[in-house]
Structure 1
């Protein structure tokens, strides 16, 4: 899973998720559901951040909690959207809810930008 372009990469399997964690120092995971209104509202903001030079060192991934319920359970997802930051394969931060300012702050904190 080499990142040749920026953007948010759909993670459609547990194996793809593990590979993303192994191959990227900092991973931002967006846990969403297709029926979730707040998820839809914040998606364009996250997409903008994924293409921002300031966050170029972050690998942006997303999982549909309805498509990967076991992974969502393993990640302790209780509400959507939930954003998780992983550094060197370990969860280091989390944001629950569609709060644009808090999302940006989470990314700034994760990258030291």
Structure 2
């Protein structure tokens, strides 16, 4: 299940707890059409790949995190390993998202 981030402390805690597991951060907005389309598929991926941590960050609720990661469009997916960003892309491309998880996990 994807974890909805509430604030910066929650975010930092989840990243620390992830250790060397792959973390996929889904930056989204409730008003974003493509985000609404891919949202259920993101949940499916979180269930399918239970060895990764999938975080959902609402850019309006957690603007400070969005600014830190230079998020300018939604949805944006940021892939983190050992607290370092290894890849990032924008767009509601399910096949690319799934393949990137397979390649990085």
Q: Same fold (TM over 0.5)?
A: yes
Task: Using structure 1 for the length normalisation, give the TM-score.
Answer: 0.88
Q: Match of 2:83?
A: 89
Q: Which runs of 4+ in 1 moved over 6 A?
A: none
Provide the secondary structure at the position in 2 that maps to 1:57: coil
Mapping 1:28-107, distance limit 5 Å: 28-52=24-48, 55-107=49-101
Is residue 23 of structure 2 the alignment partner of residue 27 of structure 1?
Answer: yes
Conservation of the 8 A alpha-carbon contact between 1:9 and 1:61: yes
Alpha-carbon RMSD = 0.8
Q: Distance in 2 between matches of 1:46 and 1:35?
A: 17
Shift of 1:56: 1.7
Q: Which runs of 5+ in 1 are unaligned?
A: 1-6
Shift of 1:75: 0.8
Q: Distance in 2 between matches of 1:95 and 1:56?
A: 22
Q: Which runs of 5+ in 2 are unaligned?
A: none
